[in-house]
Amino acid sequence: MTRTAVYPGSFDPITNGHVDIIRRTLQVFDRVIVAVAFNPNKDSSWFSPVERVAMISDTFRAEGDRVSADSFSGLLVDYAVAKGAAAIVRGLRAVADFEYEFQMTSMNRHLKPQVETIFMVAGESHFYVSSRLVKEVASLGGNVAGLLPDNVLPRLLERARSHRPGQ
């Protein structure tokens, strides 16, 4: 029996923190679906869902079908059930993440009690990495090398040029 995990998020864009969580998840599950959530009516993302999925696919090309990238709109629990996932995986960095994650997990459990959520703790070198901060630093000209997969860095730097403050 193949055990599949759904790892949802905005992934705008995928960072090395996400990569770390996906690699840890692969040690426990047979397959991971990295699921880019998007809201067609409200989106201030730097990258389109198609671009975000492409960056994730490029990052995990060597893993073959153990890692797939997809996008969804609508409820995460409905998506997880439709994909036959054994669990939703979320990453935790610091205590500050816990309250938001606890609230989301409790709501998801209210919606679909049969869907479990499992938390993976990020490696400590990733505790301060988030897509939001990486974008902010890049847009202000800071160095974000090493925080993103190699294929993502040039795409982020290119996009940062159009997100400079005052533009």
Active centre residues (catalytic): 18, 42, 93, 131
Q: Which is nearer to ligand PNS, 92 or 104 (CB)?
A: 104
> Quick check: 5 and 32 in contact, CB under 8 A?
yes
Q: How many amino acids of this chain bind ligand PNS (CB under 6 A)?
A: 9
Give min distance, CB of 19 to ligand PNS, in A: 14
Q: Is 25 in the site for ligand PNS (CB under 6 A)?
A: no
Q: Which is nearer to ligand PNS, 84 or 164 (CB)?
A: 84
Give min distance, CB of 166 to ligand PNS, in A: 26
Q: Which is nearer to ligand PNS, 57 or 105 (CB)?
A: 105
Q: Which of residues 2-21 bind ligand PNS (CB under 6 A)?
A: 8-10
From candidates 37, 86, 129, 144, binder to ligand PNS by CB under 6 A:
37
155 to 41, 61, 81, 112, 160: CA distances (angstroms): 25, 17, 33, 37, 9
Strands 31-37 and 87-92: unpaired
Q: In what order do the strands lie in the sheet with 4-9?
A: 67-72, 31-37, 4-9, 87-92, 116-121
Provide the 10 A C-beta neighbour count for residue 144: 19
According to DSSP H, which parts of the chain are helical? 16-26, 49-59, 76-82, 95-111, 131-139, 153-160
From candidates 15, 59, 108, 139, binder to ligand PNS by CB under 6 A:
108
Provide φ and ψ at 150, rounded to 5°.
Answer: -55, -40
From candidates 26, 104, 118, 137, binder to ligand PNS by CB under 6 A:
104
Binding site for ligand PNS (CB under 6 A): 8-10, 37, 75-76, 104, 107-108
